[in-house]
Amino acid sequence: MERSALPAGGRILLTGATGQVGGELLETLKPLGEVVAPSRANMDLANTASVRETIRAVRPRWIVNPGAYTAVDKAESEPELAYAVNAEAVRVMGQEARAIGAGVIHFSTDYVFDGSASAPYRETDSTRPVSVYGASKLAGERALAESGAGHMIFRTSWVYGARGKNFLLTILKLARERERLRVVADQYGAPTWSRDLARMTAEVIGQCEADVRGFELATFLFDTGQTYHAAGAGETTWYGFAAEAVRLQREKEPGTRFAAIEAITTLEYPTPAKRPANSRMNGARLMERFGWKMMDWRDSLREVLAEL
């Protein structure tokens, strides 16, 4: 499909550039135009005044927001901070974007669902978060929708990559240090490579710019912007992900001793925040609108391991 860069002088304001997805977006968005990626000191998502001031100073054409409070368990004891970053900051982004006609791309999560469905979740399925983190992310989705800004929301799951803190890197570290690792095997989903998510975002922005054709961006997004599920293809469990990662790493390092991976139930690994048992997400809408299919988690895993 046709892609286009931003109009002359157009800017992309990127939050969370030091995070997993933000770091990848910093690279994938550069070919589209100027990317402004303020540090937390210059744009504190927990401070709505800071968010508002930054947007007014930058006057972006797009706001891309992977920045979030993601400490799922800690959120249970820090709900005010979780809501400040995941909901109130997003509300301000929407208000300011509407005022200048900017588009907003916001990243959300499988945690907006309770995980009780038997099939992969579609965008139209009822949301019912079971954790503070999930509830705060859903509040952010609703705040953005209510702001009147032209926007798109990408829900994703189990994000990982070669940088930052994530399940894969933790498992590989512990597998070198211990003889046995016990990993939950009754929560289903698909790992999502942060770079695949970033590439998809750049592709979507490029297609939107090509399709605008003289219309105001906000007006265009009112007609085409909506919520999309953008998680890795295929499915597995946390145990399946860990076991496959360690198996592949053993092939790369035949002389290294790695831990045995053992399957356990969620009940055997209690956490402060409840996790969805089913985090599988249907990506058909993303494919139909933008022609983008997220990578199968097995393929992305091999690519990430090759970078380590």
Neighbours of 210 (CB within 10 A): 13
Whether 269 is catalytic: no
Q: Which two tokens stand for residue 22?
A: 């933000």
Per residue, what are the HEC states of 149-200? CEEEEEEECCEECCCCCCHHHHHHHHHHHCCEEEEECCCEECCEEHHHHHHH
Nearest residue to 279 (alpha-carbon basis) of 115, 140, 72: 115
Spatial contact of 230 and 153, defined as CB atoms under 8 Å apart: no
Q: What angle do CA 50, 104, 146 make, to 5 degrees?
A: 85
3-state helix, strand, coil in the chain (%, to 5): 45, 15, 40
The size of the chain, in residues, is 308
Helix (H/G/I), strand (E/B), else coil: 305: helix
Question: How far apart (Å, rounded) are the C-alpha atoms in residues 169 and 105?
Answer: 27
* DSSP strands (E only) in the chain: 11-14, 34-36, 62-65, 103-109, 150-156, 159-160, 180-184, 188-189, 192-193, 227-229, 236-237, 260-264
> Residue for token digits 């996790």?
275
Please pick, among 83, 111, 121, 133, the residue that the annotation labels catalytic: 133
Q: Would you please indicate which residues are annotated as catalytic (active-site) residues?
A: 133
